[in-house]
């Protein structure tokens, strides 16, 4: 009776979902985050449902298997508009966005009530390195330190710390490709001493992102400027959500995402800006770092470049934007703080441009070159710039590094929009 009662309670609880983002656009994020019945968790060990969104490239499917096997039993996997792994039996596949939340809730309920069997593990249950019977005491260790005790390598003091010259134990490990604090697909080999990054080597760049369909349409024909600028502001609000979520400011992060979901020409940023000021986030020490030089800023383009003082913006070359009196807004410092301030300024500017353009139905004039929210798209879309992290992150403490990554947008833009409104 007690077990049955506990199962009933678990079945009615908020569904803990760990999302793995393949190639997708951002439209689904707000649906999941703002649902009162879904909780997106930051560790697969806290989830009952693994949600795989979009296509996962073959090169990352081993990483997906490792994430899959970290979920505690009972668990299930829901695939949204992507091909499930061949090794899975009877996978749950959803193709319509309006059915996804109900599918997640039903799957969780069936698991908790014992009406659905847990998904099977995909990898063999064995340690990453052989250790039994090895070493001085048969547990893989060598003397006081060294070796791979119980299959895990020990931290070793291999080099002087970058900051103060102390020789601390260093630990080398691989992070990604589906670590929630990193762009999806980004995988790096990292060496830490304490909480300071000694080295960062990008092994796989972030997956390409799909922009709102209006940006692809703007490459083919004139589109309403109001629609284009609202999509730009919406994109920046989603990026702001990611940074605020990482900082632990969940209430303000949800406010930003809610604003993005309901955005119109009547929307205002004043309330969100006041909350940000009161939170004190702009006074964090981590906001002072992450400065980009001119070459790095130019390579990233978009808001990151303008936050470093580069006034490059393809909208200046569009006759319709000239008619609206458009001029790019810029910062000069190129720091983390400057990039977040730049995003806020560009959201305000996009809303103002949308309000100006809407009454006359003003359309874009230039289809050969489009300024996307990620950067300029003329001959080719913005390219992956994940390798810049190899230069920017060594010497930073872990919180500074994660804050810096959240302030950048280094992903490649997909050349086609794929399926709209994922």
Is 392 a member of any domain? yes
Residue 261 has pLDDT above 80, yes or no: yes
Residue 196 sits in the same domain as residue 296:
no
Mean pLDDT of 237-243: 95
Segment (H or E) for 19:
strand 15-21
Last residue of a domain, one of 204, 233, 267: 204
415 is a domain residue: no
Q: List pLDDT tens digits, range 322-359.
A: 999 999 999 999 999 999 999 999 999 999 999 999 99
Please report, rounded to a whole number, the percentage of residues in the chain having pLDDT higher than 90. 71
What digits encode the pLDDT tens for the residues 201-237?
A: 999 999 999 999 999 999 999 999 999 999 999 999 9
136 and 106 in a common domain: no
Asked whether residue 417 is assigned to any structural domain, the reply reads no
Q: Which helix (H) or strand (E) holds 197?
A: strand 196-204
Question: How many structural domains comprise the chain?
Answer: 4
Structural domain range at position 232: 213-407
Residues 171 and 57 in one domain: no
Both tokens assigned to 380: 């080719």
Local confidence band at 164 (pLDDT 50, 70, 90 cut-offs): low
362 vs 28: CA distance, rounded Å: 29
- Residue 260's CATH number: 1.10.645.10
Mean pLDDT of the chain: 90
Q: Domain for residue 397, yes or no?
A: yes
Do 141 and 227 reside in the same domain of the chain? no
Residues 6+ apart with CB under 8 A from 4: none
Do residues 99 and 123 lie in contact, with contact meaning Cβ atoms separated by under 8 Å? Answer: no
Q: Where are the alpha helices (DSSP H) in 23-123?
A: 27-33, 61-68, 100-112
Q: Are residues 270 and 323 in the same domain?
A: yes
Strands 76-80 and 49-53: parallel
The pLDDT assigned to 157 comes to: 64
For residue 291, the number of C-alpha atoms closer than 13 Å in the C-beta half-sphere is 7
Is 119 a member of any domain?
no
Give the domain CATH number at 35: 3.40.50.12280
137 lies in the same domain as 178: no
Domain-terminating residue out of 150, 184, 204: 204
Tokens of 156: 């070793």
Is residue 24 in a domain? yes
Separation CA 353–CA 90 (nearest Å): 49
For residue 420, is it within any domain? no
Q: Which of 8, 11, 185 is nearest to 104 (CA)?
A: 11
Are 271 and 289 members of one domain? Answer: yes
Residues 83 and 29 in one domain: yes
One domain, residues 154 and 251: no
Asked if residue 270 and residue 178 are part of one domain, the reply reads: no
Domain identity same for 225 and 351: yes
Kindly state whether residue 316 falls inside one of the protein's structural domains: yes
Can you tell me the distance from the alpha carbon of 263 to that of 261, in angstroms, rounded to the nearest whole number?
A: 6
**Which pLDDT band, with edges at 50, 70 and 90, does 160 fall under?**
low
What is the DSSP secondary-structure string of 286-328? GGG-----HHHHHHH-HHHHHHTT----GGGG-HHHHHTT---
Q: Are residues 181 and 249 in the same domain?
A: no
């Amino acid at each position: 009776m007690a077990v049955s009662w506990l199962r009933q309670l678990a079945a009615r609880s908020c569904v803990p979902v760990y999302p793995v983002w393949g190639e997708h656009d951002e439209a689904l994020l707000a649906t999941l985050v703002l649902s009162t019945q879904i909780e997106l968790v930051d560790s697969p060990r806290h989830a009952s449902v693994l949600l795989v969104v979009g296509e996962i490239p073959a090169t990352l499917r081993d990483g997906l298997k490792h994430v899959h096997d970290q979920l505690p039993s009972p668990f299930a996997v829901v695939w949204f508009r992507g091909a499930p792994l061949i090794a899975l039996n009877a996978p749950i596949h959803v193709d319509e966005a309006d059915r996804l939340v109900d599918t997640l809730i039903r799957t969780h309920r069936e698991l908790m009530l014992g009406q659905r069997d847990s998904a099977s593990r995909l990898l063999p249950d064995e340690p990453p390195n052989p250790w039994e019977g090895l070493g001085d005491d048969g547990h893989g260790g060598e003397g006081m330190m060294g070796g791979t005790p119980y299959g895990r390598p020990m931290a070793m003091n291999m080099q002087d710390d970058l900051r103060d010259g102390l020789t601390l134990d260093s630990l080398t490990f691989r992070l990604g490709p589906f670590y929630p604090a990193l762009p999806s697909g980004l995988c790096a080999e990292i060496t830490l001493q304490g909480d300071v990054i000694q080295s960062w080597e990008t092994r796989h760049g972030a997956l390409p992102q799909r922009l709102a369909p209006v940006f692809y349409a703007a490459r083919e024909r004139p589109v309403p400027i109001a629609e284009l600028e609202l999509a730009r502001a919406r994109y920046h609000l989603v990026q702001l959500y990611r940074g605020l979520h990482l900082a632990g400011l969940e209430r303000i992060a949800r406010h930003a995402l809610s604003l993005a979901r309901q955005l119109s020409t009547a929307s205002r940023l004043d309330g969100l800006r006041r909350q940000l000021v009161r939170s004190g986030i702009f006074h964090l020490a981590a906001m002072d770092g992450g400065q980009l030089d001119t070459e790095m800023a130019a390579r990233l383009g978009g808001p990151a470049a303008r936050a470093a003082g580069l006034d490059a913006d393809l909208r200046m070359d569009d006759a319709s934007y000239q008619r609206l009196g458009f001029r790019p807004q810029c910062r000069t410092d190129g720091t983390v703080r400057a990039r977040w301030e730049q995003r806020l300024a560009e959201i305000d500017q996009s809303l103002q441009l949308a309000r100006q353009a809407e009454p006359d139905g003003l359309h874009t004039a230039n289809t050969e070159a489009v300024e996307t929210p990620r950067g300029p798209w003329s001959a080719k879309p913005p390219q992956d710039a994940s390798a810049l992290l190899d230069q920017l992150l060594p010497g930073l403490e872990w919180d500074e590094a994660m804050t810096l990554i959240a302030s950048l947008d280094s992903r490649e833009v997909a050349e086609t929009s794929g399926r709209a409104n994922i």
